[in-house]
Homo-oligomer: A and B are copies of this chain.
Amino acid sequence: MQISLQRDGARGEPPVYRQIAAQIRAEIAAERLSAGARLPPIRELARRLRVNRDTVALAYEELARAGVVEATVGRGTFVTGVAGRRERAAFDPRLSPLAERLLELERARPRFGSAQQAVPMHALIPDPALYPVDAFRRALSRVFQRHGAELLVYGAPQGLPRMREALAGWLRGAGIGIGADEVVLCHGVSQGIALALRLFTEAGDCVALEEPTYNNALSAVSGLGLKPVAVPMREDGLDLAALDRVLARSEVKVLYTIPTFHNPMGISTSLAHRNALLEIAARNEKPVVEDAYEMDLRIDGQPVPPLAALDRSGLVVHLSSFSKSLFPGVRVGGVAARGRLVDALLALKQATDLSGALPLQAALAELIECGAYQRHLASLRRELRQRRDALLEALERHMPPGARWTRPEGGYQVWVELPDGIDTSELLPDAVAAGVLFAPGAQYHHDGRASRCLRLSFAIADAEALRRGVKILGEVIRRRGTVAARRADRVLI
């Protein structure tokens, strides 16, 4: 048993007896001291550690009070095993059905293993090599110098006024005529999705969703005890006739949609489609949650106003994010809404986690105000255009006949439909082994059913890696096709 003591009280260390107790506990927790083991006699340990015997006695007493050791007069002090982890599992907790459902969803996520060398086309994580880290560090430092402790109190649940001003200004630039008082900051758009859905739903209610759709939105829906009602996606966006039928159902309370650079499909809907969608929602008196998480990542084509900019009746709740256009670590998203919805969002946010992290909100506002965010976006878009073009060219070259894919005007993802008969979840292990990662389509289905589609991301991998990755993917698909054909042959024979 190794115990090392810090005796310099000025450094704010705990008293020596607590240090001793803590380290004995750590030994037990780490299973280096197991149940039944005898602790050294007080006198002996005191001598070894060069402390007073009372100090060791105090440590042992504290351990005994905690039930971690037991002293038997004349025999010594023994580890009870209470603090050991294995012995603790006597209680078998009955998890809520909801928690069980989420555990199942987690288990269903594809595993990519630790494929360090593989081309990472599976995730929508912006490339860390492109983050303006120094600008952000300097912004953080500046706001701390200027505001100090003000940034370390509880913020208002609505978020830092300066960041709300910056976001509202940004959204006005995109055509959403909104004021800072109509914006609620949230912990990433993922929290925004939950807050927005909870405005209109309670456990048991239904939510209309695109299919395929963002897998974490599906988790959020499950996590809230809501039921997803899938509306199929076509090549130009949601099937509007199907949407009309779904929104007419009284148990469907709200639509969640990603009109711009859809996840996972990468497509962006037309102005006409957006106006038609809003007309359907208004006629059915159903609110719309617009997830505009990649809105700032247009790399070509004509910008189309977000739903919130076209909304004439205040039925759109608009979610914005900086996780894709800057970096996820800033953890600041925004929910823009109208009137009573803002008050209700604030009450929900307050009941959820009181307030956001003001230092990060302040530093982000600083980045936007000083133009660093805009500069970053300009160079990010240039890089993205190269990557997307490289990816599309490589697909042209390496995909088998019968495969189709989307041609996004922005964002990070291309949706590939493979020829019939291939389940992309089954394809994944081969791809991982061959050195390329992708996101199989099944996880974007509300019921997780098999899919012959997959999502390729050009977020992390550069043009060079994307070409390599698609080439490998093409080979994996062809091999699979051959095997499938052979199997089919055998069946025929």
A347 at the interface (CB under 8 A from B): yes
Report Cα–Cα, A369/B90, bound state, in Å.
Answer: 34
Report Cα–Cα, A375/B194, bound state, in Å.
Answer: 39
Q: Which of B84, B304, B312, B327 contacts A177 (CB 8 A)?
A: B84
A430 at the interface (CB under 8 A from B): no
Query: Interface of chain A, helix or strand or loop or mixed?
Result: helix
Could you tell me if A93 and B152 are in contact, using CB atoms closer than 8 angstroms? no
A149: B residues at CB distance < 8 A: 128-129, 131, 133, 327
Report Cα–Cα, A337/B460, bound state, in Å.
Answer: 34
Closest CB-CB distance, A361 to chain B, in whole Å? 10
A125 at the interface (CB under 8 A from B): yes
A330 at the interface (CB under 8 A from B): yes
Per-residue B-contact encoding for A174-212, CB less than 8 Å = 1, 0 else: 010111001000011011001000111111110000000
Take A103-B347, A352-B194 as given contacts and tell me if A177 and B25 are in contact as well, using a CB distance cutoff of 8 Å. yes
A279 at the interface (CB under 8 A from B): no
A199: B residues at CB distance < 8 A: 93, 95-96, 99
A148: B residues at CB distance < 8 A: 131, 133
Report Cα–Cα, A285/B309, bound state, in Å.
Answer: 53
A376: B residues at CB distance < 8 A: 12
Could you tell me if B65 and A305 are in contact, using CB atoms closer than 8 angstroms? yes
Could you tell me if B177 and A102 are in contact, using CB atoms closer than 8 angstroms? no
Closest CB-CB distance, A200 to chain B, in whole Å? 6
Closest CB-CB distance, A336 to chain B, in whole Å? 12
Closest CB-CB distance, A323 to chain B, in whole Å? 8
Closest CB-CB distance, A86 to chain B, in whole Å? 10
Could you tell me if B310 and A331 are in contact, using CB atoms closer than 8 angstroms? no
Q: Which of A303-356 contact B (CB under 8 A)?
A: 303-305, 309-315, 323, 327-331, 338-341, 343-344, 346-348, 350-356
Could you tell me if B85 and A371 are in contact, using CB atoms closer than 8 angstroms? no
Stretch of A215-223, A229-237, A260-268, A449-457 lying at the B interface: A215-223
Per-residue B-contact encoding for A431-448, CB less than 8 Å = 1, 0 else: 000000000000000000
Could you tell me if A173 and B66 are in contact, using CB atoms closer than 8 angstroms? no
A118 at the interface (CB under 8 A from B): no
A340: B residues at CB distance < 8 A: 93, 95, 103
Closest B residue to A200 using CB positions: B96
Question: Can you name 16 A-B pairs with beta carbons within 8 Å?
Answer: A12-B377, A21-B173, A29-B179, A67-B310, A84-B177, A90-B313, A91-B282, A91-B285, A94-B253, A95-B340, A95-B344, A102-B351, A106-B350, A137-B144, A140-B140, A191-B352
Q: Which residues of A contact B (CB under 8 A)?
A: 10-14, 18-19, 21-22, 25-26, 28-30, 62-63, 65-68, 82-85, 87-91, 93-100, 102-103, 105-106, 125, 128-129, 131, 133, 136-137, 140-141, 144-145, 148-155, 169, 172-173, 175, 177-179, 182, 187-188, 190-191, 194, 198-205, 216, 219-220, 222-223, 225, 253, 271, 282, 285, 287, 303-305, 309-315, 323, 327-331, 338-341, 343-344, 346-348, 350-360, 371-378
Cβ-closest 8 pairs across A and B? A83-B177, A152-B329, A12-B374, A12-B375, A223-B351, A128-B149, A203-B203, A102-B347
